Amino acid sequence: MDTISNEASNLNNNLSRMANVPEAYRYFTLDQLKGALKKMYLIRRFEEEAEDSYQRGLTYGTMHLSIGQEASAVGICMPLSNADYITSTHRGHGHCIAKGAEPGKMFAEFFGKETGYCRGRGGSMHIADVTTGNLGANGIVGGGIPIAVGAALSIKHQKKNAVAVCFFGDGANNEGSFHESLNMASIWKLPVVFVCENNQYGMSTSIERSTSVKNIADRAVSYSMPGITVDGNSFSDVASASVEAVARAKSGEGPTLIECLTYRTRGHSRSDRNRYRTKEEIDAWAARDPIPRFEGELLNFGILNETMIAEVREAAEREIQSALEFAKSSPDPDPLQVANFVYSS
Amino acid sequence: MDTISNEASNLNNNLSRMANVPEAYRYFTLDQLKGALKKMYLIRRFEEEAEDSYQRGLTYGTMHLSIGQEASAVGICMPLSNADYITSTHRGHGHCIAKGAEPGKMFAEFFGKETGYCRGRGGSMHIADVTTGNLGANGIVGGGIPIAVGAALSIKHQKKNAVAVCFFGDGANNEGSFHESLNMASIWKLPVVFVCENNQYGMSTSIERSTSVKNIADRAVSYSMPGITVDGNSFSDVASASVEAVARAKSGEGPTLIECLTYRTRGHSRSDRNRYRTKEEIDAWAARDPIPRFEGELLNFGILNETMIAEVREAAEREIQSALEFAKSSPDPDPLQVANFVYSS
Amino acid sequence: MTDSAIREISFSQAIYEAMALAMEADERVILMGEDIGVYGGAFQVTGDLVHRFGPERVIDTPISELGGAGVAVGAALTGMRPIFEFQFSDFATLAMEQIVNQAAKMRYMLGGEVSVPVIMRLPCGSGSGAAAQHSQSLEAWFAHVPGLKVIEPTTPYDAKGMLLAALEQNDPVLIFEHKLLYKMKGHVPEGHYTVPIGPSETRRQGKDVTIVATAIMVARALEAAVILEGENIDVEVIDLRTLRPMDTESIIASVKRTSRLLCVYEGVKTLGIGAEISAAIVESDAFGFLDAPVIRLGGQECPIPYSPGLERASVPQVDDIVRCARDLVRRKI
Amino acid sequence: MTDSAIREISFSQAIYEAMALAMEADERVILMGEDIGVYGGAFQVTGDLVHRFGPERVIDTPISELGGAGVAVGAALTGMRPIFEFQFSDFATLAMEQIVNQAAKMRYMLGGEVSVPVIMRLPCGSGSGAAAQHSQSLEAWFAHVPGLKVIEPTTPYDAKGMLLAALEQNDPVLIFEHKLLYKMKGHVPEGHYTVPIGPSETRRQGKDVTIVATAIMVARALEAAVILEGENIDVEVIDLRTLRPMDTESIIASVKRTSRLLCVYEGVKTLGIGAEISAAIVESDAFGFLDAPVIRLGGQECPIPYSPGLERASVPQVDDIVRCARDLVRRKI
Ligand SMILES: Cc1ncc(C[n+]2csc(CCOP(=O)(O)OP(=O)(O)O)c2C)c(N)n1
Ligand SMILES: Cc1ncc(C[n+]2csc(CCOP(=O)(O)OP(=O)(O)O)c2C)c(N)n1
Ligand SMILES: [Mg+2]
Ligand SMILES: [Mg+2]
């Protein structure tokens, strides 16, 4: 494992003195764990600000918030470097930050500015940051799944020591592209990790009403790959599963399907009138908010103390504020350039 | 079971005196079994004549022969009546005859005649006989799968005591439509039976090279439906599985996936140069030809004697000859009518 | 004037009403689509129908466009009258196989022995900031396909009447619904009536130039006509309404009077619906009446961008129409 | 004259050769498709390439058009240069999502930060008795989509040269290959050369009427031209070759000389490629030079039927072209 550095093994030594320490904490350095916490804050705050600007009528179009799902995005990306690819979804802000994107360029894209990751052409549903290996959010449910398999095919051909991680939702697992893609990834033993963020609903349709299997991970049987269901609100559970699956992929053993059980506490998108979920259900999941849970573990296992946590939170807040400022003061694209960037030549 | 008549239970009584009689024989009357044998002959002879007319340059386009797969088509259709639907495939002559179509109108279609089932518009790949519930062959691999589910939805809405049977190949099971359709059939508990005729190859690509699971029936797990793999060259095994699945569907318990292991002894289509199979493999399967096997069982269990079998064979031959004559003497469609039948109004 | 005669409802309510009427009158009518049940549809068109008719007739499908459309096709083939909603017409890209290879061709391939009375509803168009994969106007693809009928109503009155007319067809009918029209209000009678599929509708008569427009462009063309009136340019505006089959006759008749034709549509200009309008008119005996070339004002040759200013620039706006029509009228061959 | 200068090979061999050359020169070039390995491809175009380059570079996919095309798109996005073969262009209906929503739009949606150099090969057209679901000419759909380049070579020389040119592009290129052309022979140089994507080619010069044709219709137009020569009608035949972007300039120049334009194509007439040719020319300054309406001769408004006589009647034949061109030349406005 590239990601287990010396520092990690030091942390590891300390931790090993404690009972019940989740495995994941042994894999990462203190800085990596602080980085993970910071990313979770950044995601949460990015989306709160996005929501706010929406409500104040400052932004346009639609948007899909992943508030409540941060552990899945950050946990999965823990063992990844910029050489690894991800494909993301319409609910992609979290994946994008987890993979290392700058919130400033993300806000700029969100506000349709020329300085945004997509020069204002893409918006929330298409934010991508190729420099960190994020091949982009996708407006088409299931649209990114074969693309991730293609990225894995490239990795294999180019003999790179890398992996492609494919995020998608529980709803997407009923698309034909899911089936076709997992089948190909398996027969060709490609270095890809399929991550189904099962937040219980595809828009308004619960998994019980849409999906003919209890655990989506059980569908891995059809593709002769390991399928594992984890608590998607537990950073450490998600990160452990990811570390294993990434190692498996990189060693040439082929793909894994990870199902992260989680929940979006906000509505599906702007148009959601919340007719399909009960307040009780939402509250119950809100009580399992991944961020306090992660903080709790870090405190419990003596990895960070309150002061350190506060420092991380403040650093995230400063980054969000300057990111917002950058975005807001950025110029709009020139309408005369509307038909640029269609072709390379 | 509607199909177990008094006569069947008489035959049943006789048979039950013998050991090892396959279950299927208990379900059907003597006439039904003779009918099944005759259909197998008709299919074989239909396709041999089709092949012959092809080789003599008398027909056009392409064609896909199911020689060697007759037990699957006929066995599956045993418990079906005209009120039940089937959707078929590019390799559909067998299904069509098994469901009760007249070889004359089929030959006529094959020869592109106005008297054909599709008035010469469809050809081999689109032959349908709606009067017997056959919704048609299909030129698109996997194209018929959701259509069968739709037919089952109609049955349910119309509260009919009927079932939709969906034939498709091993190759088709890697299409997205397979996944989407089985999922919907399962969550809505529709009266549909999915029949995968696994003849080991999708065109040149063996199931090992195309499919990430050993038994296609194992994919039923993903759809929480029973999945069963049967010897597709054994009439009785196929028929038993069909009787059970049809009963299950009609009683409202939902769909079943039946995988019939079989083999096409001819090439995929006209263009096949047979570069992907060995002579040994073809010979080994030819030795398991479903027709002599069925004859053998009928003789062994004392259901038919040699004379009776010869009679059935001759009746089939007479039917084929007069069908050929009908088709050959039929008129071609009028080219001025080329754009008719596009719209109902 | 009765209450009904002055009753105004929105475009989406008009579609809702047509579906409700059809479902009351005919058990065979069922609705299928993603989130059309309790959610009421992505654009709230199916609304409370699931509560009125139950989940057996208002069926939430999984997110499976190919399979879902195929199920609707199979149900139509066997006696039902399904109305299938795509959440966005962009997602029909996943179901082209079933729409084009199956639904459109089945009757023909089977020599007329079957019919496929399926209706598909496809919200389309830009203007809502939904960007490249949720804003396309792909109508031209479908209008290219024999076996399909393609309609695109632009008023609440027509939306209801054409949907009810579609339900009387025995062929697949695709209804493109421009998102920006959903909230538009207009007079809609209660009860059952139909607006025939096929004929276009002249929304404004004029003698200087004919504008044939589709979807939201009809409203923009009418706005432009008012502005041009101030410049003494008298514009005729034809709402095409049905894209396949196309009512070329009415356009020909109009062009014979005005001698000038401008086609305005939101889809990409190249091979968009205006290409057919132009080609069909030029091919007709209206050709000899033309005092200027037929001009097309269509969408830019790019995907629909997100940023509002870019998005506006990517499809025709009122002032673009004004400018084009003015140039055309001033033009001599 | 060297051997190479007179060497004649078939259209399919020309494509084979282009792929082989590209694979030798560039490790990034891989082939994907159904049965392109040991089977050699449904039309035997990939032939023995799997034996020359191994199954890692000549990849038999499962029967999964959407997924397969998507994998090719993903690979192109990350540094490979995949050439994806659809067995029949009709099956691209299953992959429209990946082609149109992803490949075509990705560069734009991402503000120019990526490119998707994928090539897709699509055998198309009727004439082989393969009926409605294996004979379509759907090129017009793709030519409607910004972000795609669409080519349709008609000679072995162009097939090789344009495929090699496509491999130098950084954008998605779709190559439509008419099935009836595969066995056509013609001069093809050995070694690497390119034929640019974009420009059309005038296959025959004439002064009385311009015929713009695509795919197999180029050969039929040339045959028709010979017949018409006997009637003292001098036909100019332009092979469009690239459908997007379209070389309107050359057509305009030709029409300015001949004053008459006939568009011949196999796709369904309505909204087929001829609609764009007609509309684009009429919109140009060639309009004033036209002595007769632009006429389109396209496929019938029906699916392609099976029976040989019907099949022939469903798309333009040589005598249809002769008749149309003759009528057009005789026509006065
Ligand atoms: C092909 C396609 N179908 C439908 C939609 C509309 N849509 C957007 S998100 C969504 C729900 C997706 O559910 P899931 O995959 O579970 O992701 P989640 O939204 O829960 O994160 C739907 C139906 C779409 N964008 N693309
Ligand atoms: C969507 C689609 N893809 C590819 C083809 C070309 N094709 C026709 S049959 C066939 C093989 C099908 O294999 P299988 O489903 O196993 O049926 P079998 O031919 O073995 O009966 C292929 C690839 C097609 N007709 N449709
Ligand atoms: Mg979900
Ligand atoms: Mg097979």
Decide the pairing of beta strands D235-239 and D201-204. Answer: antiparallel
What single string gives the DSSP state of each residue in D54-121? -TTTEEEPPS-HHHHHHHHHHHHHTT-EEEEEPSSGGGGGGSHIIIIIIIHHHHHHTTTS-----EEE
Residue span of the structural domain in which A150 resides: 23-328
CB atoms within 10 A of CB D156: 24
Contact residues on chain A for D80, CB-CB shorter than 8 A? 150, 153-154, 157-158
Taking CB atoms and an 8 Å limit, are A61 and C129 in contact across chains? yes
Question: Which pLDDT does position B21 carry in this prediction?
Answer: 86
Question: Which of A93, A203, A272 for mutating ligand 1's site (highest number of atoms within 8 Å of CB)?
Answer: A203
**pLDDT digits over C215-255, tens only?**
999 999 999 999 999 999 999 999 999 999 999 999 999 99
The phi, psi pair for A243, rounded to 5°, reads -55, -45
Residues of B numbered 86-145 whose beta carbons fall under 8 angstroms of chain D's beta carbons: which are they? 109, 112-113, 118, 120-126, 138-143
Strands, E assignment, B71-128: 85-87
Q: Say which of B139, B153, B339 has its CB closest to residue C71.
A: B153
pLDDT of residue C72 exceeding 90:
yes
Give catalytic status of residue D65 as yes or no. Answer: yes
Per residue in B30-49, pLDDT (tens digit) is 999 999 999 999 999 999 99
Whether B29 is covered by a domain: the verdict is yes
Q: Would you say residue A192 lies in a domain?
A: yes
Identify whether the C-beta of residue C104 lies closer than 8 Å to the C-beta of residue C172. Answer: yes
Task: Tell me, yes or no, if D231 is annotated catalytic.
Answer: no
Residue A21: what pLDDT? 86
Which chain C positions have a beta carbon within 8 Å of D140's beta carbon?
144, 271
In this structure, are C159 and C210 located in the same domain? Answer: no
Residue A2 is predicted with a pLDDT of 41
Q: Taking residues C276-292, report their average pLDDT.
A: 97
Would D150 be classed as within a structural domain? yes
Type of residue found at B143 = G
b/e for B88-115, b at 16 or more Cβ within 10 A?
Answer: bbbbbbbbbbbbbbbbbbbbbbbbbbbb
Tell which residue, B94, B72, B39, has the closest CA to residue B288: B72
All residue ranges of chain D with pLDDT < 70 are 1-5, 332-333
Is B174 part of the contact surface with chain A (CB cutoff 8 Å)? yes
In a domain? residue C314: yes
Within-domain flag for D41: yes
Query: Taking 90 as the threshold, does the pLDDT of residue A10 lie above it?
Result: no
Ligand that comes closest to the CA of residue A139: 1
pLDDT over 50 at A4, yes or no = no
Nearest-by-Cβ selection for C63 from A118, A141, A338: A141
- The answer on D205 and D123 residing in a single domain is no
Give per-residue pLDDT as tens, B285-294.
Answer: 999 999 999 9
Q: Given this model, what pLDDT does residue A307 score?
A: 98
| Domain match, D39 and D174 both | yes
B69 is a domain residue: yes
CB proximity under 8 Å: D 210-269 to C: 244, 246, 267-268
Same domain, C321 and C244: yes
> Which three-class secondary structure state does DSSP give residue B71?
helix
Average pLDDT for residues A83-111, to the nearest whole number? 98
Which one, of A3, A1, A85, A2, lies nearest residue A36 by Cα?
A: A3
| Sign of CA pseudo-dihedral C250, C254, C255, C257 | positive
Query: DSSP letters of A257-321?
Result: EEEEE---SS-SSTT----SS-HHHHHHHHTT-HHHHHHHHHHHTTSS-HHHHHHHHHHHHHHHH
Q: How many structural domains compose chain B?
A: 1
Q: What is the pLDDT of residue D33?
A: 98
CB-based contact, A21 to chain D, within 8 Å: no
At B20 the pLDDT is 77
Distance of CA B254 to the CA centre of its chain: 21
Which residues make beta-bridge pairs with B168? B196
Q: Do B344 and C73 touch (CB under 8 A)?
A: no
CATH, residue D313: 3.40.50.920
- Mean pLDDT for chain A? 95
Q: What does B131-163 look like in DSSP terms, one character per residue?
A: GGTB----SSTTTHHHHHHHHHHHHHHTT-S--
Q: What is the pLDDT of residue B10?
A: 56
Q: How far is the CA of B201 from the centre of ligand 4 (A)?
A: 4
**Domain containing residue A150: CATH number:** 3.40.50.970
Q: Are residues D129 and D205 in the same domain?
A: no
Residue range(s) defining the domain that contains residue D102: 7-187
Would you say D333 and D291 are in contact if contact means Cβ atoms under 8 Å apart? yes
Q: Ligand 4 center to residue B207 CA distance, Å?
A: 8
Mean per-residue pLDDT over chain B, rounded: 95
- Asked if the structure places residue D80 within a domain, the reply is yes
**Which atom from ligand 1 is nearest to the alpha carbon of C35?**
23
Alpha-carbon torsion, ordered C194, C199, C202, C207, to 10 deg: -160
Q: Is D1 a member of any domain?
A: no
Which atom of ligand 2 is found nearest the CA of B64?
Answer: 19
Do the beta carbons of residue A163 and residue A246 sit within 8 Å? yes
Residue D118 shares a structural domain with residue D232: no
- Sign of the four-CA dihedral B136, B141, B146, B148: positive
**Confidence label for B17 from pLDDT (cuts 50, 70 and 90):** low
| Identity of the residue numbered B337 | Q
- pTM of the predicted protein model: 0.97
Instruction: Please tell me the predicted confidence (pLDDT) of residue C3.
Output: 59
The predicted structure's pLDDT at residue D4: 60
Helix ranges (DSSP H) in chain A? 6-16, 24-27, 30-55, 70-77, 93-98, 103-110, 144-157, 176-187, 207-210, 235-250, 279-286, 290-300, 306-328
Please give all residues whose CB falls under 5 A of ion ligand 4, grouped by chain where several chains appear: B 169-171, 199, 202
Band of residue B2 on the pLDDT scale cut at 50, 70, 90: very low
Chain D residues lying within 8 Å of B205, measured CB to CB: 34-35, 37, 39, 60, 62-63
Q: Do β-strands C235-239 and C201-204 pair in parallel, antiparallel, or remain unpaired?
A: antiparallel
Residue A68 domain flag: yes
**Residue of chain C minimizing CA distance to A111:** C307
Express each pLDDT in A139-174 by its tens digit.
999 999 999 999 999 999 999 999 999 999 999 999
Residues D177 and D225 occupy one common structural domain: no
- Domain end, chosen from D162, D187, D212, is at D187
Distance from CA of B153 to the nearest CA of C (A): 6
Question: Model confidence at B59, in pLDDT bands (50, 70, 90)?
Answer: confident
Among C140, C157, C187, which residue terminates a domain? Answer: C187
In chain D, which residues have their Cβ closer than 8 Å to the Cβ of C108?
132, 302-303, 305
- Domain count across chain D: 2
User: Stretch B340-345: mean pLDDT, rounded?
Assistant: 96
What is the per-residue pLDDT for D6?
A: 86
Q: Determine what percent of chain B is predicted with pLDDT higher than 90.
A: 89
Closest approach of B342 to chain D, Cα-based (Å): 6
Report if residue A58 sits inside a domain: yes
Residue C238 CB neighbour total at 10 angstroms: 27
Sheet bearing D201-204, strands edge to edge: D201-204, D235-239, D209-213, D261-268, D295-299
- A55 within domain boundaries: yes
C-beta of residue C262 within 8 angstroms of C-beta of residue C297: yes
Amino acid residing at D38 = V
The residues of C that are catalytic are: 65, 134
* Chain C contact for A219 (CB, 8 A cutoff): no
Strand arrangement of the beta sheet that strand B164-169 belongs to: B85-87, B164-169, B192-198, B256-261, B227-231
Q: pLDDT band at residue A258, thresholds of 50, 70 and 90?
A: very high
Q: Does residue D196 form part of some domain? A: no
Cα C64 to its chain centre, rounded Å, is 24
Whether the per-residue pLDDT at C268 is higher than 60: the answer is yes
* Cβ <8 Å between D275 and C271: yes
Work out the pLDDT band at B23, boundaries 50, 70, 90: confident
**In terms of domains, do C220 and C308 share one?**
yes
User: Domain check: are C245 and C291 in the same one?
Assistant: yes
Region of D108 please: left (phi>0), alpha (psi -120 to 50) or beta: alpha
From C156, C187, C218, the end of a domain falls on: C187
Q: What is the pLDDT at residue B1?
A: 37
From A147, A184, A188, residue closest to D64, measured CB to CB: A184
Residue A10 maps to a domain: no
Q: Count CB atoms within 10 A of the CB of residue A31.
A: 12
Answer yes or no: do C31 and C177 share one domain.
yes
Instruction: Please check whether residue C211 lies inside any domain of the structure.
Output: yes
Name the DSSP letter for residue A331: P
C-alpha triplet D145, D148, D151: angle, nearest 5°: 110
Claim to verify: residue D147 and residue D233 sit in the same structural domain: no
Residues C215 and C167 in one domain: no
**How close does chain C come to A60, measured CA to CA in Å?**
6
- In a mutational test of the A interface, the residue from B188, B219, B222 whose CB has the highest number of chain A CBs within 10 Å is B222
Q: Is the pLDDT of residue C1 over 50?
A: no
pLDDT in tens, B247-265: 999 999 999 999 999 999 9
Domain for residue D65, yes or no? yes
Averaged pLDDT for residues A52-75: 94
pLDDT greater than 60 at residue B12: no
